[in-house]
Structure 1
Amino acid sequence: MEAKPVEPDSKLEAVLKYLKETRGFDFTGYKRTSLARRVRRRMSHVGIDDFADYLDLLQVNPEEFDALFNTILINVTDFFRDTEAWEHIRAEVIPLLLAERGPDDPVRVWSAGCAGGQEAYTLAMVLADVLGPERFRQRVKIYATDVDDEALTQARQASYSAGEVHNLPEEQLQRYFEQQGNRYVFRKDLRRSVIFGRNDLVQDAPISRIDLLVCRNTLMYFNAETQGKILNRFHFALSPRGMLFLGKAEMLLSHTRIFDPVDLKRRTFRRTPGGLTGMGSFISQPRVPDRAGEVGGLAELREHAFSASPVAQVVITGEDIVALINQQAEVVFGLSHRDIGRPLRDLEISYRPVELRAYVEQSKVERRAIRIKDVEWTRSPGDVIWFEIHVNPLVHADNGLLGVTIVFHDITAARKLLEELEHTNRRLESAYEELQSTNEELETTNEELQSTVEELETTNEELQSTNEELETMNEELQSTNDELQAINDTLRERSAELDQVNDFMEAILTSVRFGVIVVDPDLRVLVWNRGTEDLWGLRRDEAVGVHLLNLDIGLPVGELRSAVRAALAGADTQDVLMLDAINRRGRNTTVRVVVAPMRGQDGTSQGAILVMEPSEQPE
């Protein structure tokens, strides 16, 4: 009994649909088991257990997308990963490709799923080793693609830590990398031949005319249907003799029709030629054999041979009159010798099991055989017959039409066998996919564990470094604490002195019988002394912070605008104005107003001072 397919989680599917619609990342072709595990891992980091709640988080927090993509797209890669396979590429595949091309023909390579660029630069080193750097720069173009923009940014920089180049031989490291501090940067002159770009293998068009396509440990993340779509794109991308290089966890057993294995152990395949030859045209032509002698009774012999044929057959004239019916046609379709001479349109066979007249007419007009495949006929309940019907024109040697023969090939048994075979193949393919999926899951888990170990090692080093920094900072903080204590004591002393100065200034401003106003560069009141309150009847808390020109007092403040602006601009002279005003008691008075700039220690204007003296003091 076949196992029922696992129903997809509708909430997870909603998350995947949202990612596709809003960010263009189509993860719907990924295997649900590993995909759900990685999404749940990210959800656990943010303290969410339900996919619907996580979808809400994505909708309100766009920054969460980057963290999720980094969790899903595990970019585990290395230079010359699986050394034996890369040595096979260097020693066997590259020389074979070059031998099939001219000495000046370009070589186009595609690294699909390049991650941080290690695979693309490995290809560059292998090709440069075989061709030499000069010929490499002239002939080779390496297109490296991925869906992870962050990984592509790192790949374009071509800068790697000592740990990331640890498995490169010293000779290779010196030949192809330049050390810059504690980083190793791939040679700039060779890097120009490596072109990085974003490409989604599921959605985007493939790069064409590729001689060598490298896609290692990427297909294993997709389900079987998506793998098939991607492999068809790869088949289109490759040149007629192009090569495909996969990872050790990936096979093409279910896609042998489009790729031929070159070395299964190293996962190298060659593109098979595209296109299948169609059925040819079959037209009955009279043939006069060379006879050694005359054979008697040929007409009767032909008649019996036609009648005894195990395949149902009907022959009609050029005018669609039934001319011949064999015994099998009589048994299968209920015909008899009485139907000979009748028009084809009068017989049930003309429209059942299929409408024949249009095909007969087409065969006569085009003078070619027509094959009608997979015709289903339910003769009675539970009795289903499948036919493949051939309609062949019968013509003279001079292309004159004699008639048409209609042959009904019973393919019911073959159809049942084919269905059983397809059913068995589906079961075998399902079993293989489950086995492959398990293998890929193990490979994925191994890579995830490797990534986790690297993260733990990095975290341990960071924690150790942080601990040392904290000890140093603790000593510095103790010293700083002592200094802050001394500073606090000084500040308290300065604060007391400042309070004394403020009290002194307040006493001065209070004692002055004239009105004094100080404004800042924005004409907002900073100082409003007691004399000003007595003169205009507006309290200090009502005036401080208000724009000078917005004050509602008996003084026409609008006429002070020019003088105040001049003082704020740094004028060296004081302006004296005589203004008619109304004091707080409602009496008319003339006020002498002196406007002067308020300067800082550096001589720049920091505001303006207005001193107001009425011509007669209010009673």
Structure 2
Amino acid sequence: MDTPDTGPSGDVEDLLDHLRESRGFDFRGYKRTSLLRRIQHRLDQLEIGSYGEYIDRLQIDVDEFTALFNTILINVTGFFRDPEAWDQIGSVVIPKLVADKEPGDPIRVWSAGCSSGQEAYSIAMLLAEALGAERYLDQVKIYATDVDHDALAQARHATFDDAAMRGVPDGLRDRYFERRDHRHAFRHDLRRTIIFGRNDLVQDAPISRIDLLICRNTLMYFNAEAQARILGRFHFAVVPDGVLFLGKAEMLLSHGDIFEPLDLKRRIFRRAQATPPATPRPVRSSAGGGPSAADVLGELRSRGFSASPVAQFVVTVNDDLAVFNDQARETFGLHPNDIGSPLRDLEISYRPAELRTQLAEVKSRHEPARITDVEWQRPNGVVQWFEVQVNPLLDGEDLLGVSFVFDDVTIARTLRRELERTNRQLEATNEELQSTNEELETTNEELQSTVEELETTNEELQSTNEELETINEELQSTNDELKVINDALGDRSTELNRVNDFLQSILTGIKAGVVVIDQAMQVIAWNAGAEELWGVHTAEAEGRHLLDLDIGLPMTEVKPVALNALSDPTYVGELRLEAVNRRGRTITLRLVCSALSNTHGDGNGALLVMETVPADAGTSVNSLQ
């Protein structure tokens, strides 16, 4: 296979441009050697010989983007990876961070390049240990970002298998994870403080006002220019004296002007002091020294907005939260420290409704939008329903920002649903009444018809009664006749019993084994000699097929003789054969088989007589007429 051009002006630039334009991923800042090696690995897997051919593959197979990104982006992470460094974070950095905060002050953490989320959950456990669960829920917000959608999706599930949990100490695992379906789920109440979202460190704006920024073993994949750009954004994101926690392969040797080491061995850095921004000039008051009419009007507008019973907030043209009223704070848990934060970093951007798509549409079209049937469950368990109005705020043709208004339609929705339910019940009741009325009319006609039928039936019963009297007389006569016949049958039955007893005494008196079979070779008689010879009782033998009996008689030799007797009413055959008696001993047996026929000469079955003879009494005779 030909190796694709790896030079800076080769076809690889076309591939990187295609990835940036079609999917928004800019890999130009990655170290070129590592990047080309991973791309080449993917081309080798597909047996593709050029970047141009691979671009064609990406255009016709959208799933190939995922395979390529999984090859380029190495999502390796784990709980408390490099335990010594995490011990320093838990024992030194976090206690100082907590000590510097007043109760109620927000603690903001950013896990950049979070992969499947283990580092975000690790810092959450350390902060919860330091603050306690109640204070943690009140103060902490953790932002976890990555460019890999699949990794973010996995992180949001907050469940991990046994292998992933090996780095979690037993005590933390017991306090912060629950066992669910052979996996470990992070505590649901603490999970709400962690917000996962996509962020490209090279292109996207950083998250601001961060107290602790964790970016471990991510910068190493970028070249020096991209690293400098990313670190500049990190410096903007971190508050004064904020902490940057890097991976053990990352040094920041050339960026000491923006981050200074706190613990170089464990790659823990602090934001270097920078020149403070200029203080805004105060607004000039009226000539009399008191508030101007404009100030009073502005204050009235602000108070009116805050006191509105409808939850609402406004974002700037750059999608940063500008202002929100008291109802929005109470309903959605917004905090004054959220002012200035990008909307995408706030929970309200996707819950109770996905607002970012509507925001982009309103900004592009300068037309309001509406989201209906938005359900929101407050912490106290109360469920509210909203209709969200998204309105552009325009100054002529210029867009100043976007307003989000949450109209509470819970009562109206409840009343509407109750009205719909009542209407359905009324319709069902009306249909039932109509059906009942029709059934009553039908029943009335059926009753009238039944009366007529009863009258006819009465006449028929009268006629039938007369017929029954006649039949009764005939039955009495017949009964007398049957009594005579029954007496005759009783005499005949007595005679038959006598004959049967006589035949049974004959069979019993014969010491040889006697078996009688019918035309179907079913056993109809089995005497005591047969019982003694084969160990099978009469009740077990009679009614069964001769060949199905489990006795020591070689049926392959008996079967032809029996069939001859059944087919020829004059047949008599004799066999001398070796058999095994009921005691399991080998005996020499003489078997005579003869046909049974009635007075008309028709065959009725066959008679088999079997007796043991001395072994030297002579040779076997196959058939004798």
Q: Fold match, TM over 0.5?
A: no
TM-score (norm 2): 0.43
Q: Which has the larger radius of gyration?
A: 2
